[in-house]
Chains A and B, each alone.
Chain A
């Protein structure tokens, strides 16, 4: 039985990703660094505020690593949660690890402390990008049950590279939010197949939003992260110009697409209905030549 990322806790995911016995946690639960704002609202707190951070090794190389706990308030980012991650990135700028690995599982800003959370997300976006300009490499892993939405979806797309499982979900607004505002005809959040088609890893891989699509298995995420340690870091004007051209092309080319299957067909996938049945390896073999490259 594979070690499912989807069904694991943040701690389990993190420990199964890094080299065994190398994880050293910063501000562990015993430090009791929890949210004062949740207490004020008489809400339960977590002694790590829903994020595990520390140093470790990956494929023998030193990394800094963080994992969000989707099981605690949807992994959402509050003042302390955000500050732990900002501190980790600040530390990366000093220590220059081989990579910062972010195991993302979060719906974005924590509403109970919305203002502090929103500012924290903006600090994180700035911190990630500032560190990338100094050559620090960010590897994002998305396969938790909470998905990766809102501000966390933005942070994810600021990383150098992303790895997803089909079960992982990546988007800005969640389907429930869109359905609430524009109705069930716009986005039926209970149509599981539709939700996976729009936000799931296979679609994100095909349109060029992520770099690797892997099975829902911690070992597969780990192997992909090790492979991606050798991808060149940095962020240049030429890189963003290239991304601009790619995004502009996608926007124009698929302006009339109604469903992801329209896009897959246009990209040359002969039988779009078949995609959800394929294993990650079968899918990548079929999709890699079709995918829209960055």
Chain B
């Protein structure tokens, strides 16, 4: 699904664009009585320093002008921009800055929701959608770190072996369902997206601690994360 299809499906009762480039956009959507601040990437955007600044500015403007307004990230990103120039200027610092802005917004009472509608790859997803209290994805979206052939090359584990194991384990192969089992994706959306969004806003909680370890344990995808963290907390 692309941006032009997504926005009317999410906001049948109104969408107002604020700014738009080939790979990023902001605007407000109306859901019942609630105005939602949308911050999005599109066309498999590369996250470079410029995109991180664009999104961070929108988060900070929302915090300043519209206290407690829900923020919705709509994401289609191929990951961080792989260029020497961005690295020279400190790309990780730009991306971490965006994460800080989101955390400040959460702390000041903005519910943070994200939806992956295209692809979400690794670094491009970490400081945007993965910062949300509630992360959603469309059924036909893709979330990944790396595809299996590249993973096989780098880990030197035969592709065939990785493919066999991918059928049993959600832990390394691409896919929205795997991220659901990790406890990261709260729900996978299909069909009536406006209804899903309405429901997501209705259940969006006031900022709370990260619930994903608990969910990952309940869903059997990450059986060790929560017990290990709890053991560290309790270690005498």
Contact = CB atoms under 8 A, between A and B. Distances in A.
B100 interface: yes
A19 interface: no
B184 interface: yes
Interface in B161-183: 161, 165, 169-173, 178-179, 182-183
Nearest to A73: B155
A123 B155 CA distance: 24
6 contacts: A83-B229, A154-B127, A173-B91, A177-B82, A178-B82, A198-B84
Main secondary structure of the interface of A (DSSP, over half): helix
Contact of A172 (B87, B103, B212): B87
A276 interface: no
Interface in A96-152: 109, 111-123, 125-127, 129-130, 133, 150-151
B69 interface: no
Interface string B51-67: 00100110010010000
Contact of A83 (B63, B84, B93, B226): B226
Interface in B196-233: 209-210, 212-213, 216, 221-226, 228-233
B74 interface: no
Given A84-B228, A122-B131, A235-B104, 19 more contacts: A27-B228, A27-B232, A79-B224, A88-B232, A91-B232, A115-B145, A118-B122, A123-B210, A123-B213, A126-B103, A129-B99, A153-B92, A154-B92, A158-B99, A171-B87, A173-B80, A175-B84, A177-B82, A247-B97
A182 B83 contact: yes
B100 A129 contact: yes
B92 A86 contact: no
Interface string A196-218: 00110001100101000000000
B216 to A, nearest CB: 7
B80, B104, B131: most-surrounded residue (chain A CB, <10 A): B104
B22 interface: no
Report the interface size class on chain B. 35 or more
A224 to B, nearest CB: 19
A237 interface: yes
A280 B222 CA distance: 44
User: Which label, helix, strand, loop or mixed, suits the secondary structure of the B interface?
Assistant: helix
Contact of B232 (A26, A113, A247): A26
B213 A86 contact: yes
A154 B182 contact: no
B27 interface: no
A187 B81 CA distance: 13
A199 B87 CA distance: 8
Interface stretch (A1-9, A225-233, A250-258, A283-291): A250-258
A111 B56 contact: no
A87 B126 contact: no
A240 to B, nearest CB: 5
A182 to B, nearest CB: 6
A256 B10 CA distance: 40
A244 B53 CA distance: 7
A222 B172 CA distance: 37
Contact of A113 (B88, B90, B92, B172): B172
B97 A171 contact: no
A251 B49 contact: yes
Given A90-B233, A112-B155, A204 B90 contact: yes
A170 B63 contact: no
Contact of B126 (A43, A118, A177, A250): A118
Nearest to A122: B130
A127 B210 contact: yes
A104 B74 CA distance: 32
B232 A53 contact: yes
Contact of B231 (A27, A40, A158, A260): A27
Interface string A235-274: 1110111011001101100100111100100000000000
Contacts of B235: 26-27
Given A91-B232, A119-B182, A241-B60, A36 B224 contact: yes
State the 5 A-B residue pairs at the shortest beta-carbon distance, nearest first: A87-B232, A157-B96, A87-B229, A122-B130, A114-B145
A117 B184 CA distance: 12
